[in-house]
Amino acid sequence: MVMCSATSDIVLKKMCYLYVGNYAKSNPDLALLTINFLQRDCKDQDPMIRGLALRSLCSLRVPNLVEYLIGPLGSGLKDGSSYVRMVAVMGILKLYHISPSTCIDSDFPAMLKQLMLNDPETQVVANCLLALQEIWSAEASSSEEASRERDALLSKPLIYYFLNRIREFSEWAQCLLLELVAKYVPSDNSEVFDIMNLLEDRLQHANGAVVLATIKVFMQLTMSMTDVHQQVYERIKAPLITLANTGSSEQSYAVLSHLHLLVMRAPMLFSSDYKHFYCHYNEPSYVKKLKLEMLTAVANEDNTYEIVTELCEYVANVDIPIARESIRAVGKIALQQYDVNAIVDRLLQFLEMEKDYVTAETLVLIKDLLRKYPQWSHDCIAVVGSISSKNVQEPKAKAALIWMLGEYAQDVADAPYILENMIENWEEEDSAEVRLHLLTASMKCFFRRPPETQKSLGAALAAGIADFHQDVHDRALLYYRLLQHSTSIAEKVVNPPKQAVSVFADTQSSEIKDRIFDEFNSLSVVYQKPSFMFTDKEHRGPFEFSDELGNLSIGAESVNSVVPAQIVDANDKDLLLSTTEKEDSRAISTNGAGYSAPLIDASSGPLVALDTQPAETQVTPQSVAALTTPQSLLQHMLVNSIHCIASGGQSPNFKYFFFAQKAEDTSTFLVECVINTSSSKAQIKIKADDQSSSNAFSEIFQSALSKFGMS
């Protein structure tokens, strides 16, 4: 390969460079043989060969060879060819990542700064800026000089120097400069207007990335100027809408995601432009879904009729997910108190379409509407009561129907008998949500129509108490004991007078929304979540490790991931009504070490943390491959008699809380386990009330974890 590099054919020479760069890291001894011909080519008469050779020399990434990079890089920064200078600048950044001390000691950052301020080629200037930002940001934590140099990049003379030359830069370089300008803090309002005037024409740029970067600058500069900030929204509206309706679907989605963020923050400013958010037949589903959310946000008293009429057309769409989203959008507009009368009539018409998915979504929305507008119950229940429960199969829709049957049992003639039929099919119902609603609806129906409901209520309570799901079991037992204590008190608890719901909870906190807005013009806006939720810890900066785990999911639906409900005490076996009880004698498995997992008894004393720092253990590649969701590990640990209390997170970070109890005594163990699949490591923290057996349990837990994914 070294012999081949002597050719004058630039294509063959480039192939040799690629080969050397690819295999140098795995064969550092052989890479030493390539140094001579690469250094020779760095002095070639052809600037293309000089640049290619210098790039390949810096791409070897072998720490022992960094001494050979210093001379060619210094010469490259002074080369007459702008291409060679560009390569040399990026080569210095590569050198810094290989050996930071060598890069700093050779005074390369100062040379880059001088080149950035004096080089006539804009791409060289942009590369210098990028390299200096990365080097000084990394060095700022350990060097005050580097910190000062990093801050100097945001000085007024330098910012204006870049802004006055911005039209000469490439699109990528313009985005880099605009990102820097967005961090600049002007000294007064006149400076804000000067910068905005300089960048005004960037809003008409053909490249969407430049437009979005400019918009970010405008919004950051005017954040403390309320009136001007609102005018900025008006100014950026047209460029964004134009970008969203041109180009590829992928570009449209990226622009619409940013437009969606602005619409959610200031819906009134976009209310007159609602027609731009109508869906086109040839748009992909992900674009249509985003537009539906925006139509919902901009709806007001003036445009509700037109928007709802358009949304109703989408309900008949062949794309079922879009049809579902359209129905939800109609319901959300109604919940905003716009034209409720007409919208309720349209929703009731949806039930006449006799499509399963349309009926299911409509039932869920009608339930929410009745919670906010109880005065519409007469019209809605008259239609809902005629729907056969056999035609409703989706759990959420079935739960909504059951809720309405229980809440308005006095208005639906067949309510007790519909509920009775569902209770008879209790064992066939897989959804715990439906079974929970069935218990509550039976209780409410019993208080309104006791003679017709007494028998079915007894059957529901008996089935609920014997249910494997802990929540269902607990609710059934609570209702039974309430009835046993006092029927009147039970009615006050289960069926008290209700006030209309004024506001439904938002799925995303205002803090999260503000964090996303701060990360405008990034993937955070496209993903609709802050960067700490989808980036690895080492790339996250100051954010805490636990932040990205989100809410923990408690109690999975599967019987295999739920602790079995305990059997009712002997004095509870004379139930309210005569029913046949089933004894549940589930055997607790063992793992050969005498550990099992009954309910935790806190009377044995406080739990003590074994170590102040969590233990770190390696996770096998097979385990990493098998760990696709938090639930995938639960069944494996359950086989080892280690039960999960809660789990959560998303790839690459998963978090679990396990517990176990020793079979022959009352020793209890609680485990917090955080697994990072990208680093293949698990952090394990164990708490126990008996430290003498903690080491044995720790070995068993780590052994069980290491075997995950082996079978």
Which pLDDT score is estimated for 4? 55
Q: Which two tokens stand for residue 309?
A: 């009429």
Longest Cα–Cα distance in the chain:
102
How far, rounded to the nearest angstrom, does the alpha carbon of residue 246 sit from its chain's CA centroid?
Answer: 28
Cα–Cα distance, 206 to 382 (Å, whole number): 56
Q: Is the pTM of this model over 0.85?
A: no
| Mean pLDDT in residue range 683-693 | 80
Which pLDDT score is estimated for 618? 84
Cα–Cα distance, 291 to 279 (Å, whole number): 7
Q: Which range has the worst mean pLDDT, 305-309, 500-504, 531-535, 652-656? A: 500-504
pLDDT band, residue 285 (cuts 50/70/90): very high
Cα–Cα distance, 524 to 518 (Å, whole number): 9
Domains of the chain, each with CATH number or no CATH:
1-154 (1.25.10.10), 428-485 (no CATH), 615-707 (3.30.310.10)
Cα–Cα distance, 526 to 512 (Å, whole number): 14
Cα–Cα distance, 644 to 634 (Å, whole number): 6
Which pLDDT score is estimated for 507? 63
Instruction: Write out pLDDT tens, residues 39-89.
Output: 888 888 889 989 888 988 888 877 888 888 899 999 999 999 999 999 999
Per-residue pLDDT at 565 exceeds 50: no
- On the CB side of 136, CA atoms within 13 Å amount to 23
Burial of residue 509 (CB within 10 Å: 0-12, 13-18, 19+) is exposed
Beta bridge partners of 683: 616, 674
Which pLDDT score is estimated for 3? 54
Cα–Cα distance, 184 to 151 (Å, whole number): 10
Per-residue pLDDT at 562 exceeds 60: no
| Mean pLDDT in residue range 518-533 | 89
Cα–Cα distance, 364 to 387 (Å, whole number): 14
Q: Rounded to whole angstroms, what are the CA distances from 82 to 165, 179, 217, 317, 509? A: 17, 24, 30, 56, 49
Which pLDDT score is estimated for 560? 40
Per-residue pLDDT at 549 exceeds 70: no
| Mean pLDDT in residue range 247-269 | 90
| Mean pLDDT in residue range 293-315 | 90
Which pLDDT score is estimated for 479? 94
pLDDT band, residue 548 (cuts 50/70/90): very low
Per-residue pLDDT at 108 exceeds 90: yes
Which pLDDT score is estimated for 376? 80
Burial of residue 282 (CB within 10 Å: 0-12, 13-18, 19+) is exposed
Question: Closest Cα partner for 14 from 61, 59, 48?
Answer: 48
| Mean pLDDT in residue range 264-293 | 90
Q: Rounded to whole angstroms, what are the CA distances from 396 to 111, 401, 437? A: 65, 9, 10
Output b/e per residue, 536-554; b: 16+ Cβ within 10 A.
Answer: ebeebeeeeeeebbeeeee
More confident of the two residues 668 and 2: 668
Question: Are 51 and 84 within 8 A, CB to CB?
Answer: yes
Residue type, 5: S
pLDDT band, residue 508 (cuts 50/70/90): low
pLDDT band, residue 661 (cuts 50/70/90): confident
| Mean pLDDT in residue range 105-119 | 93
Question: Are 581 and 575 within 8 A, CB to CB?
Answer: yes
Cα–Cα distance, 198 to 218 (Å, whole number): 11
Q: Which range has the worst mean pLDDT, 377-381, 546-550, 642-646? A: 546-550
Q: Rounded to whole angstroms, what are the CA distances from 540 to 468, 513, 531, 535? A: 42, 18, 8, 6
Question: Are 228 and 263 within 8 A, CB to CB?
Answer: no
Which pLDDT score is estimated for 577? 37
Instruction: Write out pLDDT tens, residues 354-374.
Output: 788 998 999 999 998 888 888
Instruction: Write out pLDDT tens, residues 419-462.
Output: 999 999 899 989 999 999 999 999 999 999 898 999 999 999 99
Which pLDDT score is estimated for 1? 52
Which pLDDT score is estimated for 169? 94
| Mean pLDDT in residue range 321-331 | 91
Which pLDDT score is estimated for 161? 93
Per-residue pLDDT at 594 exceeds 80: no
Instruction: Write out pLDDT tens, residues 460-507.
Output: 999 999 999 999 999 999 999 999 999 999 999 998 887 887 777 766
| Mean pLDDT in residue range 679-704 | 83
More confident of the two residues 346 and 180: 180
Which pLDDT score is estimated for 192? 92
Return mean pLDDT, the chain: 82
Per-residue pLDDT at 672 exceeds 50: yes
**What radius of gyration do the chain's Cα atoms show?**
33
| Percent of the chain residues past pLDDT 90, beyond the cut | 39
| Mean pLDDT in residue range 499-521 | 79
Query: Which of helix, strand or coil describes residue 556?
Result: coil
Which pLDDT score is estimated for 338? 64
Question: Are 421 and 386 within 8 A, CB to CB?
Answer: no
| Mean pLDDT in residue range 693-702 | 84
DSSP state of 178: H
Q: If you count them, how many residues does the chain have?
A: 711
In terms of average pLDDT, the best of 173-177, 532-536, 645-649 is: 173-177
Which pLDDT score is estimated for 537? 63
Question: Are 303 and 271 within 8 A, CB to CB?
Answer: yes
More confident of the two residues 176 and 618: 176
| Mean pLDDT in residue range 237-249 | 88
Instruction: Write out pLDDT tens, residues 616-658.
Output: 888 887 787 778 777 778 888 888 888 888 887 766 778 888 8
Which pLDDT score is estimated for 630? 72
Per-residue pLDDT at 30 exceeds 80: no
pLDDT band, residue 378 (cuts 50/70/90): confident
Cα–Cα distance, 577 to 561 (Å, whole number): 32
Q: Which range has the worst mean pLDDT, 16-25, 114-123, 154-163? A: 16-25
pLDDT band, residue 339 (cuts 50/70/90): low
